[in-house]
Amino acid sequence: MREILALDGNAAVAHAMRQINPDVVAAYPITPQTSTVQTFSEFVANGLVKTEFITVESEHSAMSACIGAAAAGARVMTATSSAGLAFMWETLYIAASYRLPIVMLDVNRALSGPINIHCDHSDTMGAREAGWIQIFSENAQESYDNFIQAVRIAEHPDVLLPVMVMHDGFITSHAMERVELLTDEEVRNFVGEYKPAFPTLLDVHNPITYGPLDFYDYYFEHKRQQVEGMAHAQEVILEVAREYEKLSGRKYGLFEAYRLEDAEVAIVVLSSTAGTTKAVVDKLRAQGKKVGLLKPRVFRPFPAKELADALRHLKAVAVMDRSISFGAMHNAGPLYLEVLSAQRIYGGSMPVVDYIFGLGGRDIVPAQIESVYDDLFRILETGQVERLVTYLGVRE
């Protein structure tokens, strides 16, 4: 029977891992991720899974162990945050380029320094070029659902890329909510038995080489192949989501459009803040204001055309970024730059402005989100964009 439990985001993902029952988990603790693998290690200790749990001395080693195990034919998972993800940098690229379908939870936390343990998206955004599929979750339920789907996406023969699933540090990772779990059997059947796409390192009858030297003669071709995997990922993500919806009743896409269809202005924002924005949208709608929300779920591969199409009818759009792309155009955030590029390529002439918010866990409250909608309506009235980038909630 399906259970409904009171779980925080990290525990919800630990349960997903338990139900998936991976062959190998190699992880190193880091706040606010720690309780995920701590909870999972209890499942291992209690014999609820057959997973080989490898404790390592760093995240570089964690991802290296994951790569080795995946190349040896294991279904592999890990979890990290912030500096841990940064310490994996080199190995993130290796996992993606070897086409190893590793699944990782990244609990979003600011990067140092000054040192900070709270939520922003600078860790994931810094890794956006590493070749991983990146899926953001609004709450514990989504993180659980996304983690299970990630296995199928990563292992799909047309994709074969590692997947990173995100939820917000503390806001989601340590907030207890109502989470509906599938049954163990349903999850087991959904992810299926793992069949590695290639002969593996432990297959002595089909010896192969992983990670050979790859110079100017073939490296470029291998990168071109990775693009192909990423290009296929979008359709696979939707296909897996459709199947998951049949099983769970919960619908997922490339993004979620909330009261967007007839909206005049909208906010584009990731993760838990999108949830808070829904409450603001409801409030403003009750006042007759035509406001909407677009919450990207998949950031890599970025659904440029679909997103531009969904925004096309709007008169003004605000993107909210929980990180800064330092030195980029107007020092804007990465989500803004993507949305703007999508609009440039696929049409849409409305003004698009950026709001940097919530860095290092700075609270974002409904009144601030309301002020963003107010700004958008002011742009409609005056036809003027005062600022392309606004820092929301910083002291001047």
Partner 1 sequence: MPKGTGWKDIPLGGLILEAGNSVEYKTGGWRAFRPVRDAEKCIHCLFCWIYCPDSSILVQDEKMVGFDLEHCKGCGVCAQVCPVKCITMTPETEFEKEK
Partner 2 sequence: MGKMIEIRWHARGGQGAVTAGKLLAETALGAGFYFQAFPDYGAERMGAPIRAYTRLSDSPITLHSPVLEPDVVIVLDPTLLGVVDVTEGLKENGVLLINTTESPEEVRKRLNLEGKNIRIFTVDASSIAIQELGREITNTPMLGAFCVATGLLDLNKIVEQVRKDFGKKLRPDVVEANVRAIQRAAQEVKQG
* Interaxial angle between packed helices 304-311 and 334-346, expressed in degrees from 0 to 180 and rounded to the nearest 10: 80
Span interacting with partner 2, options 46-54, 82-90, 243-251, 267-275, rule CB under 8 A: 267-275
Burial label, 250 (beta-carbon count in 10 A; 0-12, 13-18, 19+): middle
Measured CA to CA, the distance from residue 19 to residue 44 in angstroms comes to 12
Q: What angle do CA 253, 246, 143 make, to 5 degrees?
A: 50
Answer for the pair 66, 27: CB distance below 8 angstroms, yes or no.
no
Binding-residue pattern over the window 124 to 153 for partner 2, x denoting contact by CB under 8 A: --------------xx--------------
Tell which residue, 15, 290, 296, has the closest CA to residue 147: 15
Is position 295 an interface residue for partner 1 (rule: CB under 8 A)? no
Answer for the pair 240, 327: CB distance below 8 angstroms, yes or no.
no
Question: Minimum distance between the CB of residue 211 and partner 1, rounded to whole angstroms?
Answer: 7
Q: What is the DSSP letter of 290?
A: -
Among 208, 231, 279, 345, binds partner 2 (CB under 8 A): 279
Residue bearing tokens 């890990």? 78
In one-letter notation, the amino acid at residue 309 is D
Cβ-based nearer residue to partner 2, 235 or 363: 363
| C-alpha of 193 from chain center | 24
Among 2, 216, 326, 396, binds partner 1 (CB under 8 A): 216
Among 76, 140, 160, 319, binds partner 1 (CB under 8 A): 160
Is position 272 an interface residue for partner 2 (rule: CB under 8 A)? yes
Q: What angle do CA 133, 167, 392 make, to 5 degrees?
A: 105
Is position 366 an interface residue for partner 2 (rule: CB under 8 A)? yes
Binding-residue pattern over the window 61 to 100 for partner 1, x denoting contact by CB under 8 A: ------------------------------------xxxx
Span interacting with partner 2, options 175-183, 201-209, 309-317, 379-387, rule CB under 8 A: 175-183
Strand (E) or helix (H) holding 318: strand 316-321
Is position 394 an interface residue for partner 2 (rule: CB under 8 A)? no
Which one of partner 1, partner 2, none interacts with residue 4, CB within 5 to 8 A by kind? partner 2
Token pair in block for residue 154: 């990563």
Among 45, 129, 158, 178, binds partner 2 (CB under 8 A): 178
Question: Minimum distance between the CB of residue 224 and partner 1, rounded to whole angstroms?
Answer: 4
Burial label, 264 (beta-carbon count in 10 A; 0-12, 13-18, 19+): middle
Cβ-based nearer residue to partner 1, 9 or 196: 196
Answer for the pair 328, 337: CB distance below 8 angstroms, yes or no.
yes
Among 56, 72, 117, 201, binds partner 2 (CB under 8 A): 117
Measured CA to CA, the distance from residue 26 to residue 46 in angstroms comes to 18
Is position 224 an interface residue for partner 1 (rule: CB under 8 A)? yes
Q: Which residues bind partner 1 (CB under 8 A)?
A: 97-100, 160, 197-199, 206-212, 214, 216-218, 220-222, 224-225, 228-229
